[in-house]
Structure 1
Amino acid sequence: MSSFILRRLLHAIPLLLAVVVLNFLLIAFTPGDPITLLVGDFPAPPEYLEQMRREFGLDQPLWIQLLRYLGKVAQGDFGYSFANQQPVAALILERLGATLELTMTALAFASVLGIVFGVIAARSAARTGPGLVDSAIQGVSSAGYSIPDFWLGQLLILVFAIWLGWLPSQGNNPVRGTAPGFEGFVQHLSYLVLPAFALSLRYLTLITRITRAAMLEVMNADFILASRSRGASEWTVVVVHALRNAAAPVLTVIGYNVGFVLAGSALIEAVFAWPGIGRLLYESISKRDYPVMLAILLMVSVTVVIANLVTDIIHRLIDPRIERA
């Protein structure tokens, strides 16, 4: 296992290097001048603009900018934010907690309910054929998967925040601060409900459909029939035998979507004014804040690599038959 992890990490190094280079080139060739956007409508003289470009290193040829950036990233230095006037690493660390809270809540909610609904639908289909329960879950899953996240977020705000007034629509805490103790926890939780649900619905429906399909492949297998013939309880048959053997594709989908949940939080955070990295990415794109954009994209790429590695390790722990090459 240790040699497998080491090989995967060594393979990830050139992959991440390619990601850094491609992201840098794509952003560098994007139309727009960050210095002009930083100065705004102020009629700055050309000498001042040239001075600003020299300070931020934008007056150098592109290949020199790339080499300098690669050298800084290798040292853990992600540059200086044009728009926020502070180091990028410190800026991201300020927002990281809010994003992790939102994305991990959404992913955990989608994973747990998706597996539960998928098992219920597969068990219903395997026992009685496509019935009401299975058809209802599949229908809702198809509808949920087709709804765009940002549009769902606006609908949730319209219904639960404006019409009904049950939940807040913006931010992650009250402007005047949360109350102490359990009351403050409930207040904070009320701000998390809508954005977490809006972010999780697409992945919940996807995990439900993958779980159902994987479970149906094993529900009529010989080892399931043998387990039932030995008098095993339905819980043992469905969870211990069927779900464990169907877990590989489900875990793959969950692990594969960790990076997409993190990247997809940008629109949700923008809709709900959630003060996280996704909203920071959205703001940095509009302001052409290149160092922040590059750092966030690199963080998402590293997250995907780590999530895939952890998923492969869990696969081997669940099913030792997986090839160890």
Structure 2
Amino acid sequence: MLPSVLKRLLHVAILLVAVLTLNFLLIHIAPGDPVQTLAGDIGGMTDELRQELMQRFGLDKPLIVQLAIYLGRVLQGDLGYSYYFDASVASLIGERLAATLLLVVTAVALAFSVGTLIGSLAARRPNGVLSQSVTVLMMVGYAAPVFWTGVLLIILFASIWPILPVSDMREAGSDATGWAAALDVMRHMVLPTFSLACVYLAIYARLARSSMIETLSMDYVRTARAKGLSEPVVLYKHALRNSVIPVVTILGMQFGHAVAGAVLVETVFNWPGLGRLAYDSVLRRDYPTLLGLLFFSSLLVIVMNQLTDLLYRLIDPRIRT
């Protein structure tokens, strides 16, 4: 067991170094100059001030030297200092991490549970009305971009039917605490969560439907029905546990994609999370903040893949054995 764990940790370490290197090179090769961006914000600067900022940010050194310094700092737990926000990258991520995780985890959990349930029910009668409706829902949900869905929701609930907040995470100027504050956050979460969950709900419903149809044709399902077991017991106790494994696979793989989708959702709804921070960092050419966000996203994807492997073992005893 120990050699297997050590081997996996070694692979994770190598993968993280490769991701860090690739992110660093891509960002520094891309067009744009953070010092020039700062110059525009402060209304221009002298050559002396520009040279001072280049030295302060370490941008006057060769690219390979900058990369070596960056990797060394990350290995020490230092993600750098933001050019624009004038704060450490770790503190910026820490301040906004909870908001993004709350949004992403809620949206993914909603999409996974509802999508799996709808897909499993539709698989009982592949040519029925529910199954056909799910197919249409999947096509619409998968084809609609998250920002487009968000804009439609804002139009609907800001102009036509103004019953839900369409911006921020809390009511402006509110000093509510306890349950009142929690309810306020929940009301603000409804639209961005639904907007982010739509596309993933369609994916999980489609995959759960096709997987359940295949599972229901297995011999052990026929045996369970021949023994006189009720249809709900056959469907949810015997078939669902095996059919949900492909859905769990996609869940682990697309969690990082959901974090990326949160960039668009948070920008549309002005949600104060990592996505909004990434958007502002791109506009300001804030290299350290962008690199920190990419590193955190990569780490999150790797952790989710490991948790997915753990879920396999909990769902399927054969893998555990």
Aligned residue number for residue 199 of structure 1: 196
Match of 1:230 in 2: 227
Letter in 1 for 2:133: A
For residues 262 and 6 of structure 1, the distance between their equivalents in structure 2, rounded to whole angstroms, comes to: 28
Q: Which amino acid aligns with 1:190?
A: R
Q: Secondary structure at the match of 2:279?
A: helix
Aligned to 1:37: 37
Q: Which residue of 1 aligns with 2:54?
A: 53
With 81-90 and 181-190 compared, the bigger mean Cα shift is at 181-190
The two structures have a TM-score, normalised by structure 2, of 0.96
* 2-structure distance, mates of 1:243, 1:139: 23
| Unaligned runs of at least 5 residues, structure 2 | none
Matched-pair contact (CA < 8 Å) for 1:5–1:309: no
C-alpha separation in 1, matches of 2:44 and 2:180: 51
SS at match of 1:257: helix
SS in 2 for 1:321: helix
> Could you tell me whether the CA contact under 8 Å between 1:256 and 1:304 is conserved in 2?
yes
Partner of 2:141: 144
Aligned residue in 2 for 1:270: 267
- Deviation of 1:181 after TM superposition, in Å, equals 4.0
For 2:125, the equivalent position in structure 1 comes to 124
1:210 shift after superposition:
0.5
Aligned residue identity for 2:36? T
Report the RMSD for the aligned CA atoms in angstroms: 1.5
Aligned residues: 320
> 1:26 and 1:189, CA in 2 relative to 1: closer, same or farther beyond 3 A?
same
Secondary structure at the residue paired with 1:59? coil
Match of 2:168 among 167, 171, 180: 171
Residues 104-152 of structure 1 show CA distances to partners (whole Å, capped at 9, x for unaligned) of 1101110110111111111122xxxx11111011111111110000111
The 3-state SS of whatever aligns with 2:93 is: helix
How far did residue 321 of structure 1 move?
Answer: 2.8
CA contact (8 A) 2:314 2:320 kept: no
For the structure 1 residues 132 and 305, does the alpha-carbon distance in structure 2 shift closer, same or farther, using more than 3 Å as the test? same
Mapping 1:1-325, distance limit 5 Å = 3-40=3-40, 42-125=43-126, 130-322=127-319
Q: Measured at CA, do residues 323 and 172 of structure 1 come closer, stay the same or move farther in structure 2, by a change above 3 Å?
A: closer
- Name the CA distance, whole Å, in 2 between partners of 1:7 and 1:245: 29
Shift of 1:5: 4.0
Calculate percent identity across the aligned residue pairs.
43
Q: Contact 1:109–1:200 (CA<8 Å) still a contact in 2?
A: yes
CA separation in 1, counterparts of 2:195 and 2:175? 23
SS in 2 for 1:40: helix
Structure 2 distance, partners of 1:3, 1:307, is 21
Distance 1:234 1:2 in 2: 44
CA contact (8 A) 2:116 2:244 kept: no
Greater shift, 50-59 or 228-237, is seen at 228-237
Distance in 1 of aligned mates of 2:44 and 2:96: 33
Cα distance change on mapping 1:311 and 1:231 into 2, 3 Å: same
DSSP 3-state at the match of 2:125: helix
> What amino acid sits opposite 1:65 in the alignment?
Q
Structure 1 residue 2 displacement after superposition? 5.6
Give TM-score scaled by structure 1 length.
Answer: 0.95
Unaligned runs of 5+ in 1: none
